[in-house]
Structure 1
């Protein structure tokens, strides 16, 4: 008997997205490769998600609908973790309930697996779009190498869940941190990246469209971001920066520090001044000289509303 192609499990957390998730599921049903299963994990929707999912489950038995168990924490992280446990695929793709796949995505990924053998991560490019404009001039994750950690350090790789395919083997016992409310995909992806014997194959072509709207993480970001979200991202980026500072080359470490300190820039732009001064003042690890410069720039920004550009430039100048 001919050997079956690997099975891909698509895991989609959702919450009150019945107006959008249908388009996402249509893009999955349109895949030219049919070796997939899809698990939609509902985080407690109060709209018509359940009725819509009943329709899609009736169309194709590979689409399965679950509600997050009550004994698990609320949020997309717990939904993704539950999806890992109930899925059966050899490979896992975490997708969002408002994004779209190109029809050839899974076929392209399966082709790489068949040609390359054991692959831990496959990345594809993505573009952002809004409901008014389906095309974006900027593409992400399309100039990558097989050194995925180096690509990440220099900002060439965006660790967002829809553009990455993970082998179940490399995921192992790694799970999404259910305490994080922001940067959870960055935290999860980085934990995978630093595992030993990592084999990454980049597709280097756009195969996913990521929707930007008022309810998305990217949409209206500065007006909606909470202090809790900023602290969540600060923790994740601090842990990553400290790891890379110890383990990678000097240039890669410097780049990681840059990403970490720019979280403080977000605090200034969102006018979370108390959060900015408190967290930056207690920072005791690397770049003390930079810390004091940024504290001064932050003070000028609060008093005059100016200096944000200087903040970004000062970080880069100090590091390079």
Structure 2
């Protein structure tokens, strides 16, 4: 047992007792034995603690932790609290997880094996499938992971050519311990973090072609709620602005990222100040892209005048 790398599962939960039991059961059935599951409760008002205590009574690897008020309400605060709980522990790997998802019985074992085979890997990905009911989950599904070879991982993540949530990878502890999720964002916080991390330095990683992570789709999910559409749009824009500022501050922009933000600031969220910054950086990085930038600005001015003239009172 002592030779098995130690994995901490940081499971964030809030008022999902009715779903949490299935999630904890999928963790309990892991073929990999060297894990501890820390359930971080964001002040649930249902019987969440009772559910966790029932599992902990049978398996001491489960433990319940009420989130400190020092952290903001929401998933980001719960994950930051969990990371701070284990930051000083002797750990090898970190697995983030949510209270409504399911792990394949071999998820931790197969991903941990990859990380053990190559000490330079920062994380190992796996295939993912969505499900509505537990009986819809199939264990023998295959999946492939790839993205355009011309892009670095950070660029691909920024453009949406690569998409994965924090529950998918098994992270090496030394890599994940540097994470800090943005507690001001209720949506797109993972995307903002990973873009910034991957743009700083492209991590070495591997991917399994097995589906090992099953993501539940239901009306109670934050990303599925129609009532949260306004929040999602506001947070997505805020995340984009945070990424733009981060890349500026750390001198990490590439021509790909600058063109992305050119489109954003010209067509979707007009911002003349940031457009000037994009133009200045493109002029130094990519003359061809800069000429397209100048042409885009010129055409935008012409068509803007035409449209304003058309609707003049």
CA distance in 1, matches of 2:300, 2:8: 44
Change (3 A) 1:284 1:30: same
CA distance in 1, matches of 2:68, 2:181: 16
SS at match of 1:22: helix
Most deviating of 107-116 and 246-255: 246-255
Residue in 1 aligned with 2:97?
95
Structure 1 segments unaligned to the other structure (5+ residues): 265-279, 300-320
What does the per-residue CA deviation read over 1:258-302, in whole Å, with 9 as the maximum and x for residues that have no partner? 6x58x95xxxxxxxxxxxxxxx24464346649779999xx9xxx
TM-score of the aligned structures, taking structure 1 as reference length:
0.73
Write the mapping of 1:70-109 to structure 2, written as runs, cut at 5 A.
70-87=69-86, 88=89, 89-109=91-111
Contact kept in structure 2, 1:43 and 1:74, CA below 8 Å: yes
TM-score of the aligned structures, taking structure 2 as reference length:
0.75
Paired residues, number: 278
Contact kept in structure 2, 1:140 and 1:157, CA below 8 Å: no
Most deviating of 228-237 and 280-289: 280-289
Contact kept in structure 2, 1:212 and 1:218, CA below 8 Å: no
CA distance in 2, matches of 1:213, 1:121: 28
**1:285 maps to 2:274:** yes
Match of 2:241 among 238, 242, 262: 238
Most deviating of 236-245 and 105-114: 236-245
CA distance in 2, matches of 1:61, 1:95: 18
Residue in 1 aligned with 2:10?
11
Contact kept in structure 2, 1:119 and 1:199, CA below 8 Å: yes
Contact kept in structure 1, 2:157 and 2:191, CA below 8 Å: no
How big is the alpha-carbon RMSD for the aligned residues of Structure 1 and Structure 2? 3.6
Write the mapping of 1:288-299 to structure 2, written as runs, cut at 5 A.
289=297
Shift of 1:212: 0.9
SS at match of 1:162: coil
Change (3 A) 1:285 1:25: same
CA distance in 1, matches of 2:303, 2:113: 48
Change (3 A) 1:3 1:29: closer
Structure 2 segments unaligned to the other structure (5+ residues): 276-292, 309-313
Write the mapping of 1:125-136 to structure 2, written as runs, cut at 5 A.
125-131=127-133, 134=136
Change (3 A) 1:11 1:225: same
Contact kept in structure 2, 1:244 and 1:256, CA below 8 Å: no
CA distance in 2, matches of 1:141, 1:242: 33
Contact kept in structure 2, 1:129 and 1:210, CA below 8 Å: yes
CA distance in 2, matches of 1:294, 1:204: 48
Match of 1:114 among 110, 113, 116: 116
Write the mapping of 1:266-285 to structure 2, written as runs, cut at 5 A.
280-282=269-271, 284-285=273-274
Contact kept in structure 2, 1:124 and 1:164, CA below 8 Å: yes
Change (3 A) 1:68 1:49: same
Residue in 1 aligned with 2:26?
27
Shift of 1:77: 1.2
**1:229 maps to 2:228:** no
Shift of 1:247: 4.2
Shift of 1:228: 3.7
